[in-house]
């Protein structure tokens, strides 16, 4: 069954106006209203819309009833966008993200993958790796090798090439509009621009970039401009952290925070101890160790949420699990709030303006419960804790492969929609 895109819905302002009781104030404000119950105090917030962006304000709930959230809740179905038919994309690099972007695309009715390039993988091996996946299971569809330059997936033909230089890939001849740059090599604007020479119109880098504009869907994608030809989808960890940080900061204010991501093993790690000249600890066997590592994910939040620039930093622990990671954000708030207040704010966002991006669970979940979850960040209400009314630890899970691959395509669809309406 086709999974609709997050961005085939009305703009955020229209959605909020249609579904929430909005204030007429010109600028967003935030205030806390505590509600007493026999068990705890909680707060609910509604959203203000100002200058096309959403923000949140705590309000007393009238007829808003709690909804029990689960770890496997399906993201909402939304209307098709007016971007004009299917967006044709190509994939450069058929590694973990490249293959899963293609898998996700087969479930959507707004994306059409027409070409894949990888200089190290021929068509037969592509078909094998795409069909069989040790983490996400066997592909639930049909895949055939037509010839050395063509795959057929679910009856749809996809051209295959093996060029090392992106400038030599015939994206234009294949009809490609957007390229997913998932090789992990061409991550700067200068290097990724080679795809444009081959006829592509836009490039989305599936990794952080040193100089390309960075976007996190649900956080800052509305700042995208049609003249931006090369953009970054940030990292999977930034995609988990930034939506949570956005909600918490807009409602309560984040004075400062430290993030730790407990991150699943990735393909760059060693199966046994081996050479790693820049990161000696990173050269130790991935299945044998918990490995401290650096990450720029927390600092990158400052690029997509400028008001948090310089307020967040963090580190990572690489752990011997194959998939699903978890963010631990320990932060000091600017405004007094209980942990129950913060939970209520995130829960409301997960059911309203950021549904499909943020999830919420109050169940006794573990990492395997989130394999195949398409949301960017699933807040674990039971795992977090508050020390005081200004200092607390927030925990949020993410499928660092599947969720991220969904956001890559959501960003592309948003870019296509902006172009169609320009």
Q: Which residues contact 74 (CB under 8 A, 6 or more apart)?
A: none
Q: Would you call 196 helix, strand, or coil by DSSP? A: helix
**By C-alpha distance, which of 377, 376, 380, 369 is closest to 404?**
376
User: What is the Cα–Cα distance from 261 to 258, expressed in whole angstroms?
Assistant: 10
- Average pLDDT value over all residues in the chain: 85
| Alpha-carbon span 164 to 162, nearest angstrom | 7
Q: pLDDT > 90: what percent of the chain?
A: 79
> How many domains does the chain fold into?
1
Beta-strand relationship, 385-386 and 325-333? unpaired
Q: How far is the C-alpha of 3 from the C-alpha of 255, rounded, in Å?
A: 38
How much is the pLDDT for 85?
79
pLDDT at 277 over 80: yes
* CATH number of domain containing 223: 3.30.360.10
DSSP for 151-180? Answer: EEETTEEEEEE--SSGGGS-HHHHT-SEEE
Residue 73 lies in a domain: no
Summarize the confidence of residues 415-421 as an average pLDDT: 95
Q: Left if phi > 0, otherwise alpha if psi is -120 to 50, otherwise beta: which for 356?
A: left
Range of lowest pLDDT (11-15, 277-281, 418-422): 11-15
pTM value surpassing 0.85: no
**Which DSSP letter does residue 74 get?**
P
Q: How high is the pLDDT of residue 50?
A: 38
Concatenating the DSSP letter of every residue in 285-306 gives: BTTT--EEEE--HHHHHHHHSG
Q: What is the pLDDT of residue 21?
A: 35
Does the pLDDT at position 312 exceed 50? Answer: yes
pLDDT for the residue 253: 98
For 247-259, letters b (16+ CB in 10 Å) and e give bbbbbbbbeebeb
Q: Which residues contact 151 (CB under 8 A, 6 or more apart)?
A: 116, 123, 126, 127, 130, 143, 144, 145, 157, 158, 160
Helix (H, G, I), strand (E, B) or coil at 341: helix
Closest by CA to 383, choosing from 369, 372, 400, is 369
DSSP three-state, residue 415:
helix
Give the model's pLDDT for residue 73.
Answer: 47
Residue 211 has pLDDT above 70, yes or no: yes
Domain span at 410? 82-422
Beta-carbon contacts of residue 308 (< 8 Å; ≥ 6 apart): 245, 249, 254, 301, 302
Strands 143-147 and 53-59: unpaired
Q: Which of 56-60, 93-97, 132-136, 267-271 has the lowest mean pLDDT?
A: 56-60
Give the number of C-alpha atoms closer than 13 A to the C-alpha of residue 139, restricted to the C-beta side. Answer: 22
Res 122: pLDDT: 96
Query: Is 412 a residue whose pLDDT tops 70?
Result: yes
Q: Strand 111-117's sheet: what is its strand order?
A: 143-147, 150-153, 156-161, 111-117, 87-92, 178-181, 202-205, 230-232
Tens-digit pLDDT profile for residues 19-50:
333 333 333 333 333 333 333 333 344 444 33
Reported confidence tier of residue 157, pLDDT bands at 50, 70, 90: very high
Residue 211 lies in a domain: yes
Can you give the pLDDT at residue 368? 98
- DSSP for residue 20: S
pLDDT digits over 325-372, tens only? 999 999 999 999 999 999 999 999 999 999 999 999 999 999 999 999
* 400 vs 258: CA distance, rounded Å: 20
Average pLDDT over residues 176-197: 98
Q: Does residue 84 contact residue 419 with C-beta atoms inside 8 Å?
A: no
Per-residue pLDDT, averaged over 362-387, amounts to 98
Residue 138 pLDDT grade (very low, low, confident, very high; cuts 50, 70, 90): very high
In a domain, 234, yes or no: yes
Task: Calculate mean pLDDT across residues 286-300.
Answer: 96
Average pLDDT over residues 246-251: 98
- In this predicted structure, the answer to whether residue 174 has a pLDDT above a threshold of 90 is yes
Residue 40 lies in a domain: no
Asked whether residue 89 is domain-assigned, the answer is yes
Residue 417 in contact with residue 81, Cβ under 8 Å? yes
* Torsion angles phi and psi, residue 213, rounded to 5: -55, 135
* Alpha-carbon gap, residue 74 to 56, rounded angstroms: 24
Reduced to 3 states, what is the DSSP secondary structure of residue 386?
strand
Average pLDDT over residues 274-302: 96
Cβ atoms of 263 and 316 closer than 8 Å: yes
pLDDT tens, residue by residue, 73-126: 444 433 344 445 799 999 999 999 999 999 999 999 999 999 999 999 999 999
pLDDT of 245 over the 60 cut? yes
Instruction: Give the number of other Cβ atoms within 10 Å of residue 135's Cβ.
Output: 15
* The predicted structure's pLDDT at residue 152: 98
Assigned domain for 61 exists: no
Domain assignment present for residue 126? The answer is yes
> Quick check: is 57 in a domain?
no
Mean pLDDT of 263-280: 95
Catalytic residues: 236
Residue 64 pLDDT grade (very low, low, confident, very high; cuts 50, 70, 90) = very low
């Amino acid at each position: 069954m086709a999974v609709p895109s997050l961005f085939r819905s009305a703009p955020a302002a229209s959605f909020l106006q249609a579904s929430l009781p909005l204030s007429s104030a010109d600028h967003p404000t935030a205030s806390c209203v505590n509600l007493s119950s026999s068990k705890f105090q909680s707060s609910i917030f509604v959203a203000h819309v100002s200058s096309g962006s959403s923000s949140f304000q705590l309000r007393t709930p009238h007829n808003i009833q709690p909804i029990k959230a689960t770890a496997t809740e399906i993201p909402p179905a939304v209307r098709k966008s007016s971007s004009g038919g299917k967006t044709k994309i190509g994939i450069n690099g058929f590694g973990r993200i490249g293959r899963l972007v293609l898998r996700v695309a087969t479930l959507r009715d707004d994306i059409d993958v027409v070409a894949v390039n990888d200089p190290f993988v021929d068509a037969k091996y592509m078909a094998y790796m795409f069909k069989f996946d040790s983490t996400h299971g066997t592909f639930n569809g049909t895949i055939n090798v037509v010839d050395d330059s063509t795959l057929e997936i679910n009856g749809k033909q996809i051209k295959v090439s093996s060029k090392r230089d992106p400038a030599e890939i015939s994206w234009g001849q294949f009809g490609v509009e957007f390229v997913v740059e998932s090789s992990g090599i061409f991550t700067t604007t200068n290097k990724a621009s080679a795809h444009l020479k081959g006829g592509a119109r836009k490039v989305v880098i599936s990794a952080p970039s040193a100089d390309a504009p960075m976007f996190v869907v649900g956080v800052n994608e509305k700042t995208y401009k049609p003249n931006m030809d090369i953009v970054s989808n940030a990292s999977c960890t930034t995609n988990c952290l930034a939506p949570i940080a956005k909600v918490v900061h807009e409602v309560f204010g984040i004075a400062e925070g430290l993030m730790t991501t407990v991150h699943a093993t990735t393909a760059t790690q060693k199966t046994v101890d081996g050479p790693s000249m820049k990161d000696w600890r990173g050269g130790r066997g991935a299945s044998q160790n918990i490995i401290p590592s650096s990450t720029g994910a927390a600092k990158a939040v400052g690029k997509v949420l400028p008001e948090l620039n310089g307020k967040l930093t963090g580190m990572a622990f690489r752990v011997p699990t194959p998939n699903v990671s978890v963010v631990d954000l320990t932060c000091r708030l600017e405004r007094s709030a209980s942990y129950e207040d913060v939970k209520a704010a995130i829960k409301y966002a997960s059911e309203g303006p950021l549904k499909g991006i943020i999830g919420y669970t109050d169940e006794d979940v573990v990492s395997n419960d989130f394999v195949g979850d398409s949301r960017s960040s699933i807040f674990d209400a039971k795992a977090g804790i508050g020390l005081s009314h200004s200092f607390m630890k927030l925990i949020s899970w993410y499928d660092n492969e599947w969720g991220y691959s969904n956001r890559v395509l959501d960003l592309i669809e948003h870019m296509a929609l902006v172009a169609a309406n320009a």
